[in-house]
Chain A
Amino acid sequence: MIRALVLTMAGVFGAGAAWAEVIVLQSTTSTQNSGLLDAILPQFEAATGHEVRVVAVGTGQAIRNARNGDGDVLLVHARAAEEEFVAQGWGVERFDVMYNDFILVGPATDPAGIAGSVDVVTALAAVAAARGVFASRGDDSGTHKAELRLWSEAGVDVGGASGGWYRETGSGMGATLNLAAGMQAHVLTDRASWTAFGNKDGLEILVEGDARLFNQYGVIAVNPERHPHVQAEAAQAFIDWMTGPEGQAAIAGFDLQGRQLFFPNAAR
């Protein structure tokens, strides 16, 4: 009965995802909120005829969704988790696509005295020492993983400060930035999300340019041996295009307020 109902409804809506040329891209909020995907995907669709449907969540959730088979291709930024995904056989192969960088944003009044620093680890230690409010994604996203790595390098145990000066939002980058603006908190964000963010309200970039703030994006096709239903050919076409000259040029050509946000660096 339920199945019949579901099938009927699937008929009503043309069972969208079943078309061969439609692929689901599990990606991150940074690529969507910045407007990058809106800018470059139409070019891919025009070039290949495939349609891309974007589900924008944190990197951790994107990888879990892909592992469940609920996507054909991943575009995320957490290298270690991506390599594990491939090593466990869920993904075919990982390719570098592009990079940008993280920045440490905080109140313009700079209570921890870190503005202009190029050493993010020292700056974070200073924030912790000053008990400056810090808003963390807390959602296992790529940005969250990067942030935790930096805290650990700074020798700060943020777990103990959780709920105190260290506030985990459990939300996307945008929601976390809104929260940071409201609380005048420090926050680690990717530069693209920050540039595109419209509610900066008293926050500004305090630390940037540290090599440890490098933010690499990778693309992986979901393994059809694990999930036979995936659109492997279209997924491969997407990867080929993104890492090929057309896609790389499209990424380089995307700018916001006259500023390039993503830098193509595919190996090919």
Chain B
Amino acid sequence: MREGAAFRTDPRLLEASGLRLSKQGVALLNIDKLVLDGAGPTLILGPNGAGKSLLLRCLHGMIQPDAGEVRQGGRRLDSLACGRQAMVFQQPVLLRRTVQANLDYVLRRQGLSRMARAERCAELLDMGGLAPRARQWARSLSGGEAQRLAVLRALACDPEILFLDEPSSALDPASTKAVEALVRQAHERGTRVVMVTHDVGQARRLAGDVLVLHRGEVMEHTPAAEFFDRPRSRAARCFLEGRLIL
């Protein structure tokens, strides 16, 4: 399956090369080559401190690595132009405004007309089941609703790539399910999903491919179908068996 030319023009193709990041002499990331092609979603697994969040932030362009570069669709990440990438954090930070104003904030930055914004906003709220909450203060939402709003806000500008950093680690099963449903919808609409998780079950439910990170290095990057049956790395096997990996 060498469709290199076609992939290279795919604006969702993410490539990282020679990624190095260290702090006070401790290597935090050390990745020679990472290519996220395929349809995804890519689920990044690994123990605490493996560098999952750092990798996500490097891919998102929020952290400058000490060395190496990240390319999206063959082009260097220059600025985080809304519309290309979006990110959902573990703890959603919502603006001190109403639910719909949180979405409108992003939409207005795209220069949409008032009509178009209202339409898109209603569409998003419906999608996340937050329509009844539209005029409520975002800060008064429950944890699950807040995270759903954060996902909707990330999706508001139709990003090519959506990063999620353990979005449901603090949520109950029902809320986790709702967030996963949103992620799946985004994936089906063609957004490339890259998500960090702790939860093997979540990886099973969502993953198209799995990337295992340990001590800042990629242990393996395997299609999901293969990964859960025959993980290649020892770290992945430990992880799947629920044993502690150090």
- Chains A, B in direct contact (C-beta < 8 Å): no
Q: Which residues of A contact B (CB under 8 A)?
A: none
Q: Which residues of B contact A (CB under 8 A)?
A: none
